């Protein structure tokens, strides 16, 4: 005997229900009565994922039915969560899971909902009109995701990947933030990288020489790959600029120029570089022309004093 997807049955109140990084779903429910088999069904239309629920007995608390499942290939739309149990008599019962009450989110360094770092898909636990907990999946639009950047003595190398793109990256550019001056950036496709994922991985070298050569002074530059802003977008970090602080560095370019640059993340996760050519400030000024020594007369020898005139002794007279 089966009941249709839990309709008409009271919802189960979960002991725990959470989702991490849109990939790992954790469920814990109080076990009710004798259960021969229990499964968690994740369904959308004709697609169904069945996950066994493990029976856990605790000494102090009531026994639990628990499951941890990694979500894959979640298409856009709403996915229903249903608990299916079968007792020793073969009676099958299906019940939905009640959505937990919305509590105030504490001010933590991470956001409550984060996309899948590999595919960019965002999956959230939401409440339906009937109060039932369901999964809402939303595919990511194409993104240029920064994996890491490596500052070296002569420049900055950026490693990234395209997410949700139909083809590998073809072009990249640095854009000066104030006036939108554009400097082309060479981009290399790394199809053999483990981090490639959809769209493929890429490596680019920040053109510090061309960026500082576009005009005097200190400027901030943003980056685009195939027209997509480059940054760390697929993360649960609330403020990347505070979580990943980076220092200013001085780079010695191959042409002999010295550039002071700061590669960093903005508050929203965009990758940016502030740079300034300081070559002229570090050079020693040329030595001035030597002066002619001052012509001063040699001191004359002191005039000799005339000999002292001493009277001759008087002759004795007899």
Kindly state whether residue 11 falls inside one of the protein's structural domains: no
Q: Does residue 310 belong to any structural domain of this protein? A: no
Tell whether 197 is covered by a domain: yes
Domain of 195? 143-282
**180 and 83 fall within a common domain:** no
304 domain residue, yes or no: no
Domain total for the chain?
2
Same domain, 182 and 234: yes
Q: What is the pLDDT of residues 245-287, one digit of tens each?
A: 999 999 999 999 999 999 999 999 999 999 999 998 876 665 5
pTM, two decimals, is: 0.77
Report whether pLDDT(153) > 80. Answer: yes
Q: Binning pLDDT at 50, 70 and 90, where does residue 306 land?
A: very low
Secondary structure in 3-state letters for the chain: CCCCCCCCCCCECCCEEEEECCCEEEEEEECCCCCCEEEEEEEECCEEEEEECEEECCCCCCCEEEEEEECCCCCCEEEEEEEEEECCCCCEEEEEEECCCCCCCCCCCECCCCCCCCCCCEEEEEECCCCEEEEEEECCCCEEEEEEEEEECCEEEEEEEEECCCCCCCCEEEEECCCCCEEEECEEEECCCCCCCCCCEEEEECCHHHHHHCCCCCEEEEEEECCEEEECCCCCECCHHHHCCCCCEEEECCCCCEEEEEEEECCCCEEEEEEEECHHHHCCCCCCCCCCCCCCCCCCCCCCCCCCCCCCCCCCCC
Residue 296 lies in a domain: no
Q: At 54, which CATH number?
A: 2.60.40
**Same-domain check for residues 34 and 97:** yes
147 with 254, same domain: the answer is yes
Q: pLDDT per residue over 189-243, tens digit each?
A: 987 655 445 568 999 999 999 999 999 999 999 999 999 999 999 999 999 999 9
83 and 208, same domain (yes or no): no
134 and 211 co-located in one domain? no
């Amino acid at each position: 005997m089966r009941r249709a997807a839990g309709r008409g049955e009271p919802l189960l109140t979960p002991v725990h229900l959470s989702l991490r990084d849109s990939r790992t779903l954790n469920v814990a429910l109080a076990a009710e009565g004798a259960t021969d088999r229990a499964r968690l069904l994740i369904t959308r239309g004709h697609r169904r994922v069945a996950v066994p629920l493990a029976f856990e007995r605790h000494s102090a608390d009531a026994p639990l039915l628990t499951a941890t499942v990694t979500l894959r290939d979640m298409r856009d739309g709403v996915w229903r969560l249903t608990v299916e149990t079968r007792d020793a008599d073969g009676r099958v019962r299906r019940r939905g899971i009640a959505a937990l009450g919305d509590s105030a989110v504490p001010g933590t360094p991470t956001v409550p909902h984060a996309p899948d770092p590999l595919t960019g898909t965002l999956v959230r636990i939401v409440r339906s009109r009937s109060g039932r907990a369901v999964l809402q999946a939303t595919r990511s639009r194409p993104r240029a995701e920064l994996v890491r950047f490596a500052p070296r003595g002569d420049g900055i190398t950026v490693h990234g990947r395209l997410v949700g793109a139909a083809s590998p990256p073809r072009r990249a550019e640095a854009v000066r933030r104030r006036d939108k001056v554009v400097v082309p950036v060479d981009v290399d496709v790394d199809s053999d990288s483990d981090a490639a994922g959809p769209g493929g991985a890429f490596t680019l070298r920040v053109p510090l020489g061309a960026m500082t050569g576009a005009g005097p002074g200190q400027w901030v530059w943003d980056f685009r790959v195939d027209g997509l802003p480059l940054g760390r977008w697929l993360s649960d970090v609330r403020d990347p600029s505070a979580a990943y602080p980076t220092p200013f560095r001085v780079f010695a370019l191959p042409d002999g120029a010295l550039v002071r640059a700061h590669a960093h993340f903005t508050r929203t996760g965009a990758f940016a570089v502030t740079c300034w050519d300081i070559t002229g400030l570090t050079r020693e000024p040329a030595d001035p022309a030597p002066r002619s020594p001052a012509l001063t007369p040699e001191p004359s020898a002191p005039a000799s004093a005339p000999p002292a005139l001493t009277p001759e002794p008087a002759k004795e007279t007899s």
